[in-house]
């Protein structure tokens, strides 16, 4: 595993955790206090024809729905030094995770994480190096530094579901409606935060967060699906070698 791939993976994880998906800027206290102190206005004709909750209310509902979610599939595209890094992780609260990561022009790596062990299956030139050692997959402790860099976003999806629409201080951000928007065939309602981050929350069924898009400090697109479906990691049983001497 070369240093470039490690750095790219670490950079992607850092961006995912601090891009504004979880924290979207400071709360506008003046506006919130004014809104909180003002008496509720009577429903107008336009309000009655549109039952969609206000942005903060729907985002709050999405966080409440997230407390009951046991698993989620998160797919992402992150701009790292001008190159797209893509990946997907199907994760649950027990630490099980299945997915892949493609760090720009680096090799694609598939992974399975179960308990305290991670299995990494690379392709490309790195995959050929592993094959020369007699295997296709590397088995390694889940707390190995490189393993954590490559699979660290296995917790990111559930984390963002639980905190979407909150600032670093835990305050609700100011958001404005962005209209109806479907994500992977699911009807949703889009909202945009003051920093430009877009949230799309399901408008039918549980108010799950369906997608987040941010351009600050870099471009990050994420989608969330397969809520509560079982994550069933099946580690490879053949062509497996000890990855400890290779990955540090």
% of the chain beyond a pLDDT of 90: 40
Sequential DSSP letters for 101-131: EEETTS--EEEEEETTEEEEEE-HHHHHHHH
Residue 119 has pLDDT above 90, yes or no: yes
Of 86, 38, 59, nearest to 161 by C-alpha is 59
Task: Say what the pLDDT of residue 49 is.
Answer: 44
**What is the reported pLDDT for 39?**
34
Higher local confidence (pLDDT), 237 or 104: 237
Identify whether the C-beta of residue 102 lies closer than 8 Å to the C-beta of residue 93.
no
Those residues whose C-beta lies under 8 Å from the C-beta of residue 45, and which sit 6 or more positions away, are: none
Q: Give the max Cα distance, the chain.
A: 73
Architecture of domain 3-24+54-225: Clam (2.50)
Confidence of residue 7 (pLDDT cuts 50, 70, 90): low
Determine the pLDDT at residue 44.
Answer: 31
Work out the percent of the chain whose per-residue pLDDT is above 70.
78
pTM: 0.80
What pLDDT, on the 0 to 100 scale, is given for residue 145? 86
Backbone angles phi, psi at 216, to 5 degrees: -125, 120
**225 to 34, 71, 222: CA distances (angstroms):** 36, 9, 10
Q: Of 43-52, 112-121, 194-203, give the lowest mean pLDDT range.
A: 43-52
Which element (helix H / strand E) includes 78? Answer: strand 71-80
161-174 per-position pLDDT tens digit:
988 877 777 778 78
How much is the average pLDDT of 104-125? Answer: 88
In the prediction, which pLDDT does 133 show? 82
Domain boundaries, the chain: 3-24+54-225
For 10, residues 6+ apart whose C-beta sits below 8 A from its C-beta are 149
170 by Cβ neighbours in 10 Å (0-12 / 13-18 / 19+) ranks as exposed
């Amino acid at each position: 595993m070369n240093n470039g791939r490690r750095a790219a993976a670490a950079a992607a994880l850092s961006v995912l955790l601090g891009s504004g998906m979880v924290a979207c800027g400071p709360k506008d206290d003046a506006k919130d206090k004014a809104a909180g102190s003002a008496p509720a206005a009577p429903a107008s004709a336009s309000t009655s024809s549109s039952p969609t909750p206000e942005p903060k209310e729907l985002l709050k509902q999405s966080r409440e729905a997230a407390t009951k979610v046991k698993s989620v599939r998160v797919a992402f595209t992150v701009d790292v030094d001008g190159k797209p890094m893509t990946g997907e992780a199907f994760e649950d609260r027990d630490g099980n995770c299945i997915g892949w990561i493609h760090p720009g022009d680096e090799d694609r790596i598939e992974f399975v994480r179960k308990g305290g062990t991670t299995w990494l299956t690379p392709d490309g030139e790195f995959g050929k190096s592993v094959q020369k050692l007699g295997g296709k997959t590397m088995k390694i402790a889940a707390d190995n530094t490189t393993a954590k860099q490559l699979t660290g976003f296995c917790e990111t999806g559930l984390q963002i579901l639980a905190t979407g629409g909150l600032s670093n201080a835990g305050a609700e951000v100011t958001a404005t409606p962005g209209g109806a928007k479907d994500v992977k065939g699911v009807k949703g309602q889009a909202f945009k935060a003051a920093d430009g981050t877009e949230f799309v929350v399901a408008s039918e069924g549980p108010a799950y967060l369906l997608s987040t898009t941010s351009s600050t400090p870099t471009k990050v697109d994420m989608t969330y699906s397969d809520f509560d479906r079982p994550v069933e990691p099946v580690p490879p049983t053949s062509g497996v070698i000890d990855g400890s001497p290779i990955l540090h």
